[in-house]
């Protein structure tokens, strides 16, 4: 008996076969349906099987014997798994289109975006590229790109992250597909850009009468756009149903964890009035040089006359969009970029110190970077990575270094038997714990955390936040927590600074700032964060 579902997945099982003959089950007995003009959100952590499920729908998984897909994927009652490759090629983009997670790696850096979008018409409609310019410009205008005629001739690197994602959306909707699959389309974007992309997708879905599958690791992110939700973990469907029912009455403990029902502020105010770090009229201006003689014609004011202080045991949140100057401010405090103004560490001025004197200070001010995989040397073992600072700053012998490293690994909740392992053998959350251990091993007064959880799943993010709070309570360390994610800042920061265009727009106690923002910009960031303020 036929039904009216535009897409129906029945008993989907996906396994990958390794050379040793071992089989890894990535998706186990998944069932779901998609109606016309409906949005289904598939949510779960990395490795849950959600992206693999999406790729199976349009036949993008490896062929047997490397990958085996069993079950049924019915598009308008026709099984996609039984379609020959020639039909699948017609199906992709024309009937079912997909937006991938990282637009910079999905777009060809050597071709202008006009040509890349035009190729969709060339492949599916046989139109010559020179005749597609008008259609491409109209698509760019439809997805909200300013000056579409000009952007037609731009390369991907000349666009912002949000603009590149809009280009990917334009490519996906070029043939007016019945179904649009969006695989983590907002992961690397600021909260305000995330909100813009979500609104754009919702508007396009309505205007073009599409159905949509939205894949995310953030359950709260999909709350405003999903009609139905499928929660996945370890390849299995833990919960499936109407979005409003799942958000109001989640059945599974894992779903409750993803929703993150905390409605309080998860920090403790510092009772210590000692100021450990202070900046006065801090400026970081980058010169703009033009002409044959490269004369300075102006400046990019990344940090513009900022006054700043941090107390012992305090967590200070710094929030703002990309380009607001928050990371540059952090780097200038660490003396990793040149700056003007005064910087004091424990009442001692450090902005005018020479490198030899700065080295002593650096052991007391450590940093944890955004990408743990990029910041850890892949050729060094865990022991070598964490103990390197002890060798440089303390010159301890091997047995002493090993004992200290084992203690700090226990503190960040990693087993001591991982000492001889390498970064690629760990998950993202584990790698970030290694990075935190590397910072802790020198017993610093201050740790700068620059977007330390942006590449992690939501549940892992809060695990890292909980770890940081426990460490702070034990060691009385001061944190500078830089992030564009206000949900995380709310959880950890006692005081928050909001930055825009190199300036501090607003500064206040975190709870007061969230409940009573004074500036429109702060209000915009909070509203774009996709959570309800119910405290």
Query: Are 116 and 209 within one domain?
Result: no
Alpha carbon distances (Å) from 76 to 14, 36, 476: 22, 10, 61
Q: Is 323 exposed, middle or buried (0-12, 13-18, 19+ CB in 10 A)?
A: middle
At which of 223, 258, 293 does a domain end? 258
**Would 286 be classed as within a structural domain?**
yes
Beta strand 96-99 pairing with 275-290: unpaired
* 180, 215 contact by CB (below 8 A): no
477: exposed, middle or buried (Cβ count in 10 Å: 0-12, 13-18, 19+): buried
Pair (355, 418) in one structural domain: no
Phi, psi (5° rounding) for residue 18? -90, 165
Q: Mark whether 1 and 88 lie in a shared domain.
A: yes
Q: What percent of the chain has pLDDT over 70?
A: 95
- The domain total for the chain is 4
Exposure of 530 in the CB half-sphere (CA atoms within 13 A): 24
Q: Are residues 320 and 273 in the same domain?
A: yes
Q: Is the pLDDT of residue 494 over 80?
A: yes
CB atoms under 10 Å from CB of 133, counted, come to: 16
Indicate whether 219 and 110 sit together in one domain. no
What separation in angstroms does the CA of 492 have from each of 202, 231, 439?
A: 32, 27, 18
Angle at 74 between CA 71 and CA 80, to 5 degrees: 80
Q: Which residues pair with 496 in a beta bridge?
A: 317, 508
Crossing angle of helices 382-389 and 398-411, rounded to 10° = 100
Q: Could you list the residue range(s) of the whole structural domain that residue 211 is in?
A: 1-95+179-258
Q: Kindly calculate the radius of gyration of the chain based on its CA atoms and give it in whole angstroms.
A: 25
414 and 529 inside one domain: no
Confidence of residue 532 (pLDDT cuts 50, 70, 90): very low
Do residues 61 and 84 both lie within one domain?
yes
**155-213 residue pLDDT tens:** 998 888 888 999 999 999 999 999 999 998 887 677 888 888 899 999 999 999 999 99
Report yes or no on 369 lying in a domain.
Answer: no
Instruction: Please say if the pLDDT value at position 529 is more than 80.
Output: no
Co-location of 305 and 162 in the same domain:
no
Do 387 and 430 share a domain, yes or no?
A: yes
pLDDT band at 21 (very low <50, low <70, confident <90, very high): low
Sign of torsion over alpha carbons 371, 372, 377, 378: negative
pLDDT tens digits, one per residue of 351-393: 988 887 888 888 899 999 887 778 899 999 999 999 999 988 8
Q: Are residues 281 and 335 in the same domain?
A: yes
155 and 128 housed in the same domain: yes
Residue among 338, 322, 346, 352 at smallest CA distance from 283? 338
Per-residue pLDDT tens digits for 387-417: 999 988 888 889 999 999 999 999 999 988 8
More confident residue, 29 or 524: 29
* Average pLDDT of span 263-274: 61
């Amino acid at each position: 008996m036929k039904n009216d579902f535009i897409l129906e997945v029945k008993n989907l099982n996906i396994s990958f076969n390794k050379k040793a003959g071992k089989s890894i089950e990535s998706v186990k007995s998944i069932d779901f349906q998609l109606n016309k003009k409906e949005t289904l959100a598939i949510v779960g952590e990395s490795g849950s099987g959600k992206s693999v499920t999406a790729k199976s729908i349009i036949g993008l998984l490896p062929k047997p014997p490397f990958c085996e897909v069993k079950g049924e994927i019915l598009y308008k009652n026709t099984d996609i798994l039984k379609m020959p490759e020639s039909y699948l090629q017609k199906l992709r983009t024309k009937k079912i289109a997909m937006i991938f997670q990282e637009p910079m790696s999905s777009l060809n850096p050597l071709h202008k975006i006009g040509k890349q979008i035009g190729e969709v018409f060339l492949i599916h409609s046989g139109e010559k590229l020179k005749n597609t310019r008008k259609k491409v410009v109209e698509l760019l205008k439809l997805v909200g790109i300013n000056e579409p005629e000009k952007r037609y001739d731009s390369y991907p690197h000349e666009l912002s992250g949000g603009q590149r994602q809009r280009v990917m959306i334009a490519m996906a909707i070029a043939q007016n597909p019945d179904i649009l699959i969006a695989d983590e389309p907002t992961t690397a974007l600021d909260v305000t850009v995330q909100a813009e992309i979500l609104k754009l997708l919702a508007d396009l879905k309505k205007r073009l009468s599409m159905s949509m599958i939205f894949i995310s690791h953030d359950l709260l992110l999909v709350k405003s756009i999903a009609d139905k939700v499928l929660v996945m973990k370890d390849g299995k469907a833990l919960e499936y149903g109407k979005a409003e029912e799942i958000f109001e009455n989640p059945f599974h403990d894992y779903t409750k964890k993803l929703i993150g029902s905390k409605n309080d502020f998860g920090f403790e105010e510092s009772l210590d009035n000692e100021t450990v770090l202070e900046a006065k009229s801090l400026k970081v201006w980058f010169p703009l040089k033009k002409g044959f003689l490269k004369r300075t014609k102006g400046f990019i004011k990344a940090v513009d006359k900022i006054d700043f202080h941090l107390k012992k045991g305090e967590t200070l949140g710094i929030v703002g969009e990309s380009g607001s100057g928050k990371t540059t401010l952090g780097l200038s405090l660490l003396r990793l970029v040149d700056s003007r103004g005064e910087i004091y560490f424990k009442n001692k001025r450090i902005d005018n110190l020479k490198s030899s004197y700065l080295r002593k200070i650096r052991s007391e001010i450590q940093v944890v970077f955004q990408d743990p995989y990029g910041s850890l040397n892949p050729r060094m073992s865990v022991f070598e990575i964490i103990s390197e600072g002890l060798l440089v700053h303390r010159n301890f012998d091997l047995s002493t270094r090993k004992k200290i490293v084992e203690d700090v690994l226990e503190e960040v909740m990693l087993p001591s038997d991982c000492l001889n392992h390498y970064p690629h053998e760990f998950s993202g959350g584990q790698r970030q714990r290694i990075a935190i251990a590397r910072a802790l091993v020198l017993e610093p007064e201050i740790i700068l955390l620059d977007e330390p959880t942006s590449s992690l799943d939501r549940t892992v993010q809060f695990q890292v936040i909980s770890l940081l709070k426990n460490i702070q309570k034990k060691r009385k360390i001061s944190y500078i927590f830089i992030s564009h994610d206000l949900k995380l800042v709310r959880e950890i920061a006692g005081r928050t600074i909001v930055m825009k265009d190199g300036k501090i727009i607003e500064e206040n106690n975190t709870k007061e700032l969230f409940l009573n923002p004074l500036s429109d910009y702060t209000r915009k960031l909070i509203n774009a964060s996709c959570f309800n303020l119910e405290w």
